[in-house]
Amino acid sequence: MADNAETPNIRHTTDRSSGPAPAARALRVATIIVTVAVGMFAALNIHELGHTAVAWLAGDHHASYELRCAPAGFGCNHFDASGMSVPSKLAVCCGGCLVTQIIAWSLVLVRRRAGRRWRLVLTPLIAVFAVDLLLQFLQAIFTPLPEYDLTKVDFTAAATLLDWSQSFSLVVFVTGTLAYIAVWVRLGYRSRP
Ligand SMILES: [Zn+2]
């Protein structure tokens, strides 16, 4: 009986001018941070597994992958490239980025149909997988030729296999970096409602 008298206007006094509640905002930030952390761990492993999978497909059925190893510390591929053709070696070089790119673009397609809650997870996840190719380009720009380890600096190793000069490979890597950034910037504008 007393309840009716003591709950008058509480529901009508909600302040909507301050945006989402701090708790909701904190949950959103936490979701993004956790997604980026888990996504980075997954993307790093998947990139290295991509190299190993392609090496396996290229003929080395003993190709393997190790999560913790020396001297790299994290993510090592073990395979024998001695019997492989140049195209197969190139495929091994690019296998890591190929897999992360397939995942990034698949997630872009999934995101288009996803609701707002899923986008909160999908957007940072796409960024984590998409940034892999950019990092590989940047790493290649700053690594001088030659590089004979196929999975250490992927694109420098690819340029070595293709017998590119230092200056030509630099032009390709810088152009590739700018083109890739342009694609994502354009995609970013389009994804806005
Ligand atoms: Zn790699």
Domain map (residue ranges) of the chain: 22-190
Residue 1 in this model has a pLDDT that exceeds 50: no
pTM comes to 0.84
- Residue 58 CA to ligand 1 center (angstroms) comes to 16
Distance, CA 182 to ligand 1 centroid (Å)? 23
One-letter identity of residue 190: R
Torsion of CA 145, 74, 123, 25, to 10 degrees: -130
Protein residues with C-beta less than 5 angstroms from the ion ligand 1: 96, 151, 154
pLDDT tens digits for 7-32? 444 444 444 555 568 888 899 999 99
What does the buried/exposed string (b/e) look like for 114-132 if buried means 16 or more CB atoms within 10 Å of the residue's CB?
eeeeeebbbbbbbbbbbbb
> What is residue 12's predicted lDDT score, i.e. its pLDDT?
47
Predicted pLDDT at 21: 85
- Cα(26) to centroid of ligand 1, in Å? 35
Distance 151 CA to ligand 1 centre (A): 5
pLDDT single digits (tens) 143-181: 999 999 999 999 999 999 999 999 999 999 999 999 999
CA of 47 to the centre of ligand 1 (A): 6
CA distance 135 to 100: 12
Cβ count within 10 A of residue 69 = 13
Ligand 1 centre to CA of 12 (Å) is: 57
Q: Which residues of 75-86 are buried (b: 16+ CB within 10 A; e: fewer)?
A: bbbebebeebee
130 DSSP 8-state letter: H
pLDDT at position 14: 47
Residue 150: other Cβ atoms inside 10 A = 26
Distance, CA 155 to ligand 1 centroid (Å)?
Answer: 8
Measured distance CA(135)–CA(94) in Å, rounded: 13
Give the residue among 122, 102, 124 at the shortest CA–CA distance from 112: 122
